Amino acid sequence: MDKRPIGVFDSGLGGLTTVRELCHLLPGEDIVYFGDTGRVPYGSRSAETIVKYARQDVAFLRTFDLKAIVIACGTVSTTSLDILSQENPMPVLGVVVPAAQAAARTTKNGKIGLIGTQATIRSGAYERLIHSANPDAQVLSRACPLFVPLVENGRFRRGDIVIETVVSEYLAPLKEAGVDTLVLGCTHYPLLEGVIAAYMGPDVQLINAGAEGARAVAGMLEQTDALAPNPSGGTYRYFVSDRQEDFSRLASIFLGWDVTEAVGQVDISQY
């Protein structure tokens, strides 16, 4: 049993896909979330810059006494997981390993689509992990750099002509290639799940990296007997590096509860 909170971070809103799943799986856990909304997106930046930002994000989170840190960001997980794990005494978990394993287990025809940020696709991390779990799988990957800014601006709903056009433009080659499994390899993309599922059709299984990451965290806390004993439910605190208002509005819509009173602003350059 461990009452300390779990620290979760992302470059912006996307990590809330992990928070939402953690809330379902582990309702008793206290969570401290940091979204680097002032510097999003990370996915178009160099590996050096992503590591530098990730270290600052972790330094801020470590001002709390945490039992684990969750990198709820595909881009940071592919570039910085090993470094952050070595540099910090508590368990540091990412979203890429669990999502790659889920994809390798799920495919029936061996054709797996992968979408992510430019940094994630460039890293080749998903391909390596999928092939080590399923050497015969064929991975067709595509960077989708416009998805994150559209999500961060609230353009994630079905019926929104802009996001529907961009989704069909990016995903057409994967649909035509006949993938039966599509990895949403960036934690922002599950906010587009409705639009993507409608475009790809009912025969394509979507793998939600944020949710897979949360399941891995739940498994680790159970195995290490580190779950929190909070029968009345955990508390949630959110911090962002830009205006609280925009984050609060979109986070409240996405999570389904009002976060306004729980959001603070941080000068991340101080860390």
**Segments of the chain assigned E as strands:** 6-10, 31-35, 68-71, 92-93, 111-116, 138-143, 181-184, 205-208, 236-240, 263-265
| 266 interacts with ligand DGL by CB under 6 A | no
Does position 144 interact with ligand DGL (CB under 6 A)? The reply is no
Q: How many residues bind ligand DGL (CB under 6 A)?
A: 16
Considering 68, 71, 73, 99, which one is annotated as catalytic? 73
Dist CA 257 CA 255 (whole Å): 6
**Which of 79, 80, 101, 120 contacts ligand DGL by CB under 6 A?**
120
Contact region for ligand DGL (CB under 6 A) — 71-79, 165-173, 200-208, 236-244? 71-79
List the interface residues with ligand DGL, window 21-60 (CB under 6 A). 40-43
Applying CB under 6 A, the span of 60-68, 122-130, 182-190, 212-220 interacting with ligand DGL comes to 182-190
Find the part of the chain contacting ligand DGL (CB under 6 A) among 7-15, 101-109, 134-142, 172-180.
Answer: 7-15
The tally of CA atoms less than 13 A away on the side-chain side of residue 37 is 26
Burial of 187 (0-12, 13-18, 19+ CB in 10 A): buried
218 vs 73: CA distance, rounded Å: 17
Active site annotation includes 186: yes
**In angstroms, rounded to a whole number, what is the distance separating the alpha carbons of residues 268 and 271?**
6
Shortest Cβ 187–ligand DGL spacing (Å): 4
Contacts of 224 by beta carbon, 8 Å cutoff, 6+ apart: 91
Q: Which residues bind ligand DGL (CB under 6 A)?
A: 10-11, 14, 40-43, 73-75, 117, 120, 148, 186-188
Active site residue ranges: 73, 186
